[in-house]
Structure 1
């Protein structure tokens, strides 16, 4: 972090008023989590002393600016609620031009984005239910989706920390495996059964940690509801999530778990067009990328995505028997030495 004195002076005038003057602005030093500045202000009430601190990126969940902003916004809300704790006065945003702005005037936050229209990929999945084979339109769409993923996954980044974070978040993040389990109604799966799956995922994470060179650009939530096909056959994407970097297996499983889910939900197994879609997706992806290693990585991500589609809160119409088969699939892929396309129904049957 670097803040120039002229920008802090401008900020002070905007935030506190023209009667406030900067008496002292100097670096304090750095520690394990970051560095800080001493800020002393001359005010109508006398000298007031403050500290500005930052958080160092890369590690401890502080990797992205949005991580650090979330922590500071929490600090602003809750420091003053604990007796004998110093008060947080403001959260300061540093813009690309290095100017400083307060970002704590709001009580809630919203995202303004472009409107997108189209037909989501759920429609295609529903229509596959009665098909013995994929038709040419199905195949073309799958190839376009695979080609897109192969393209974005070519963008690599060197960071052991970010790869390990993706593995960790896939298990422990509030939107991922453990967080989704915590939304399950009691009785869906026993706490012991949930813990067994969580433990297998932790063991799988240990196996995958040496593969940090796989870190690449990802979408992060490449599921059917976030894929909108247009009249011309092209598509738009919604809701990129949980970090721009991860493993290609995250995107691949986010979509392909749905071939398993729809097959199980309709007939208790992977069959017909769903089976062909699963095979086409993986085989074409390997053909384009040469990434045979992905078969060793997808089990962890299939476990997370399987827990999502087995959630009765999200999918209440799934029968108890079929939900049990989805849990079989999760356990099966985690217990195997790698994922095998030809064994999907073996996983499902337990």
Structure 2
């Protein structure tokens, strides 16, 4: 009890910039005289009575209970809600005021984040060259060798390794599949980013596509045994190669766990994308890269089930590269074939990775 009072006092001293003496800390709703602090910082609100500059004051400290579902699964979800509350409570008339927003450290101390405007991350500097420059070189100069195939295989091997690590959490699986279809960063968010007068894919086609993706959500929901460690944004701009097959990954996204097809579709779609721009189909060096990556992954992982559920993940990634926002300079032919790919793949019950070009034709 004394230790907890000391930690709260230190926090209040930092917050107000003046000495604050904590008189008592009790759980709200407790019986008179109850001072039990079990669970402090884990969802139960606490009344804090303290004296600052000779004035007796009271405040309520509250955090969110860790729970599954409702978008509160991750620490970052709960942090976002607390940050939002601190920013908005005080601008609504007659609403209780927020004094601060903060966080508990792993040592049980309380830290303020109340004056935060935007957050940042500080990372190690990584040497190397982004993988997309390899693909640019192949597309523009035609220089292609064994190292390119070795790198594709190494990237495939890495996914085989990380996807072996499974996680038993049906609620989290449901969330990830729901986010694939409905998140602002994924399918529906991308659809909303397209201009209303987009000539290559009109409103009716987007509406049909979204309905198909909802159908796939319900097909994927029972597959929660597949929940695995993933990268989440495994594309050539997030891979830094040095000599040979030595590389570092960047910018892991959208959660620690997910469906392995997310990573596999992300990189393999980029081989197709580069080939479309050079050849108008999957051909030549890029077909070799695609085949090496996909065949190695499927054979090493044994995960041929993926071919029955990779379809909406390919739609997600194809909507990115077909976007006039992200890639304004695409030729009409390339953009049309990407949307043909989207329509054909989402309609396929099993993806035929050995005959990708069949999905580029108009339905």
TM-score, normalised via structure 2 length: 0.88
Q: Which moved more, 1:276-285 or 1:19-28?
A: 19-28
Give 1 or 2 for the bigger CA radius of gyration: 2
| CA displacement, residues 123-162 of structure 1 (integer Å, 9 cap, x when unaligned) | 2223444799963112111111011111111111111111
2:75 pairs with 1:75: no
The equivalent position to 2:187 in structure 1, one of 164, 169, 177, is 177
Q: Is the 8 A contact 1:306 1:330 kept in 2?
A: yes
Residue 321 of structure 1 is matched in structure 2 by 333
Match of 2:50, SS state, is strand
Counting matched residue pairs gives 346
Q: Is the 8 A contact 1:131 1:273 kept in 2?
A: no
Alpha-carbon separation, structure 2, partners of 1:254 and 1:41: 54
Match of 2:304, SS state, is coil
Alignment gaps of 5+ in structure 2:
30-38
Alpha-carbon separation, structure 2, partners of 1:91 and 1:198: 38
Residue 270 of structure 1 is matched in structure 2 by 282
Residue 24 of structure 1 is matched in structure 2 by 24
Q: Is the 8 A contact 1:133 1:273 kept in 2?
A: no
Residue 74 of structure 2 is matched in structure 1 by 64
The equivalent position to 1:35 in structure 2, one of 36, 44, 47, is 44
What is the CA distance between 1:309 and its match in structure 2? 0.5
Match of 1:54, SS state, is coil
What is the CA distance between 1:103 and its match in structure 2? 1.2
Structural RMSD (CA): 2.3
The equivalent position to 2:209 in structure 1, one of 197, 203, 206, is 197
Residue 102 of structure 1 is matched in structure 2 by 112
Alpha-carbon separation, structure 2, partners of 1:121 and 1:49: 53
Residue 143 of structure 1 is matched in structure 2 by 153
Match of 1:182, SS state, is helix
Q: Is the 8 A contact 2:265 2:314 kept in 1?
A: yes
Alpha-carbon separation, structure 1, partners of 2:273 and 2:244: 28
Q: Which moved more, 1:303-312 or 1:320-329?
A: 320-329
TM-score, normalised via structure 1 length: 0.91
What is the CA distance between 1:285 and its match in structure 2? 0.5
Alignment gaps of 5+ in structure 1:
none
| CA displacement, residues 250-297 of structure 1 (integer Å, 9 cap, x when unaligned) | 111110111221122223211122222222211110111111111122
What is the CA distance between 1:5 and its match in structure 2? 4.1
Alpha-carbon separation, structure 2, partners of 1:19 and 1:326: 64
Alpha-carbon separation, structure 2, partners of 1:131 and 1:46: 75
Q: Is the 8 A contact 1:133 1:276 kept in 2?
A: no
Alpha-carbon separation, structure 1, partners of 2:359 and 2:143: 22
Match of 2:24, SS state, is strand
| CA displacement, residues 147-197 of structure 1 (integer Å, 9 cap, x when unaligned) | 111111111111111111111112222222222222223322323322222
Alpha-carbon separation, structure 2, partners of 1:171 and 1:242: 13
Query: How do residues 138-287 of structure 1 correspond to structure 2 at under 5 angstroms?
Result: 138-188=148-198, 189-287=201-299
Residue 8 of structure 1 is matched in structure 2 by 8
Residue 331 of structure 1 is matched in structure 2 by 343
